[in-house]
Amino acid sequence: MKARIREIGWRKASAPALTRRYRRFYQLVFCGALCLGFAAPVQASVRAWGCLLYASNADTALDLPPPLAHYDVPLRRFLGYSNYRVIAQREIAVENQAENLLVSAGALQVLLTSLSSSLDGKYLVGLLFVEGNKQVMETQAKVTQGSPLFIRGPDWRDGQIIIVVMLAPSLRS
């Protein structure tokens, strides 16, 4: 009986300490979650987007993807085609330095061979354009997030294939 009373007394006395300990534990969990929440976007901050456009002067509607929505006038002016249609597009999260397939259609493939940030806050990207088993062109360019690089590819049907590569924080909105 005495032992029981002592136990109840001990429980009552240690209750605030336990509550404090639980509160501290939940505070730590909250801080950890907060840190992870901030760290996650930093890790997945660089995303690469690749697109293959079919440019022609056919009498069809313009079908530019959202990242190129404001490029309708420059594209028409500089490439000389009035209509653009998306053949393939893909967005990848660049997580390692290995060769990443950015976008492909038929025998055409565009690979991201390297990606590194430069001192001026821009990115150095390495691209490889492959047709079938044949390497066509390798290029290195300095870009920023949201500045696309256009490559005039092979002719197809009545038009031409245009390759677009761009780095973006997130294009999945």
Partner 1 sequence: MKTFEQKFTAWLDGMLGRDELLSFETKHPALHQDKAEYLKLKSLLRKSLHRRELENPEFFSSQIMEQIRREADATTRSSCRRLFGLPRLVWGGICALSLGLALFFTMIPHADFSDPRAKYVAEVLKTTTVDPKVKATVENQKEMTVIKLEGLDKLPPEEDLRH
- State residue 75 phi and psi, 5-degree precision: -65, -45
Site string for partner 1, 94-123 (x = CB under 8 A): -----------xxxx-------------x-
User: Least distance to partner 1 from the beta carbon of 82, Å?
Assistant: 17
Tokens representing 63 are 């079908």
Place of tokens 């005495």: 2
Using CB under 8 A as the binding rule, whether residue 54 contacts partner 1 is answered as yes
Closest CA to 81 of 157, 146, 140: 157
Considering only 3-11, 25-33, 92-100, 134-142, which stretch makes contact with partner 1 by CB under 8 A? 134-142
Considering only 15-23, 41-49, 91-99, 138-146, which stretch makes contact with partner 1 by CB under 8 A? 138-146
Using CB under 8 A as the binding rule, whether residue 79 contacts partner 1 is answered as yes
Residues binding partner 1 (CB under 8 A): 52, 54, 69-71, 74-75, 78-79, 87-88, 105-108, 122, 124, 129, 131, 134-144, 146-157, 161
